[in-house]
């Protein structure tokens, strides 16, 4: 039995067994993610116990494999952590590697998960070494998240009477196209463009522009050594968007499209790899995988 892994402390990617500690942390949402998928572990564990079968979760939301350089900011004691879509991204990476006859751990990819939120991630030899922080005022403009906002932008919003909670909402679930145009449905945005709405076209173009820009940044994080750029998520069904990303990014590496979500396949294949002996299930430690540099005061 497999459930979504949410509400836990940060960990490396892989397939994890659901034990009592995992169940306790997911139930209490110790990572304060406040996401309905925290129920996934609880449901999987309850059903597994009834059937007397193992329970797992795979590449959970808090996967954090950033390289040391990617953690740094210009403020002492303030560090970046990862927030992306690891379950879908890693499944697409593993599948694509199999298609081209390689191992995920031997390849370098830039992977774009493009749904309501967009995360653009550098996958270097099987690890997600850098990423845009989807939902944290960083990254591309999204259907329902703001993307990049600088400190001045947020300060000005606060001066205008916005609360901290308002700013967080704009960054995480009601910014981007939904704030700009009143919808997070890209199909409706394209209808607006077809009807002559110039501002809708500007917003759509800006979203694509920021996607291309962040893709190039993630390629730079791997010094340009990129085997492929993989597009996934619901927005990858948009042929115009895909074609324009190709135009902006194919100078980096070939672009491959895996439209839609592969999270269900990711959970199933992760469990299969463990049950078939290809991998060993990992054990959740109950502590963040990264908690600062031991050589920094």
Mean pLDDT of 245-250: 98
Residue 63 — very low, low, confident or very high, per pLDDT cuts 50/70/90? very high
77 contact partners, CB below 8 Å, separation of at least 6? none
Count of CB atoms within 10 A of residue 116's CB? 20
187 CB-near residues (< 8 Å, 6+ apart): none
**pLDDT attached to residue 196:** 99
The answer to whether the beta carbons of residues 245 and 112 sit under 8 Å apart is yes
Using alpha carbons, select from 172, 207, 213, 171 the residue that is nearest to residue 189.
Answer: 207
Parallel, antiparallel, or unpaired: how do β-strands 118-124 and 108-114 relate? Answer: antiparallel
CB 236 within 8 A of CB 114: yes
**Tokens found for residue 177:** 């196209």
> Exposed, middle or buried by CB within 10 Å (0-12, 13-18, 19+), for 198?
exposed
Tell me the sheet residues that pair with 109.
123, 228
At 119, the pLDDT band (50, 70, 90 cuts) reads very high
Tens of pLDDT, residue by residue over 220-232, are 999 999 999 999 9
pLDDT averaged over every residue in the chain: 96
pLDDT in tens, 72-116: 999 999 999 999 999 999 999 999 999 999 999 999 999 999 999
- Which domains are delineated in the chain? 2-275 (3.30.420.40)
Strand 2-3 to 56-58 pairing: parallel
**pLDDT attached to residue 34:** 75
The pLDDT assigned to 263 comes to: 97
For residues 252 and 222, is the Cβ–Cβ distance under 8 A? Answer: no
Model confidence over 122-152: pLDDT tens digits? 999 999 999 998 778 899 999 999 999 999 9
Q: How many helices (H) and strands (E) does the chain have?
A: 11, 8
Residue 257's beta-bridge partner residues?
231
pTM of the predicted structure, to 2 decimals: 0.96
Rg (CA), the chain: 19
């Amino acid at each position: 039995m497999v459930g979504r892994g949410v509400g836990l402390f940060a960990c490396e990617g892989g397939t994890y067994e659901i034990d009592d500690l995992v169940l306790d942390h997911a139930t209490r949402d110790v990572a304060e993610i406040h996401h309905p998928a925290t129920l996934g572990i609880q449901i999987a564990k309850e059903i597994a116990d009834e059937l007397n079968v193992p329970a797992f979760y795979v590449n959970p939301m808090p996967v954090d494999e950033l390289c040391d350089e990617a953690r740094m900011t210009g403020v002492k004691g303030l560090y970046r952590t990862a927030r992306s879509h690891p379950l879908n991204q890693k499944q697409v990476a593993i599948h694509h590697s199999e298609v081209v006859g390689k191992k995920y751990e031997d390849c370098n990819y830039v992977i774009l998960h493009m749904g309501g939120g967009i995360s653009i991630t550098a996958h270097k030899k099987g690890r997600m070494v850098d990423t845009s922080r989807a939902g944290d005022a960083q990254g591309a403009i999204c259907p329902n998240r703001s993307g990049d906002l600088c400190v001045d932008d947020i300060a000005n919003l606060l001066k205008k009477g916005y609360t901290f909670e308002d700013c967080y909402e704009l960054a995480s679930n009601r910014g981007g196209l939904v704030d700009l145009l009143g919808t997070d449905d890209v199909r409706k945005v394209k209808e607006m463009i077809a009807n002559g709405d110039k501002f809708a076209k500007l917003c759509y173009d800006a979203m694509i522009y920021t996607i291309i820009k962040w893709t190039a940044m993630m390629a730079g994080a791997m010094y340009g050594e990129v085997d492929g750029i993989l597009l996934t998520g619901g927005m990858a069904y948009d042929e115009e968007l895909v074609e324009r990303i190709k135009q902006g990014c194919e100078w980096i590496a070939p672009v491959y499209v895996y439209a839609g979500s592969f999270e269900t396949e990711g959970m199933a294949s992760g469990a299969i790899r463990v049950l078939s002996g290809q991998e060993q299930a990992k054990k959740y430690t109950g502590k963040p995988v990264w908690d600062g540099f031991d050589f920094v005061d």
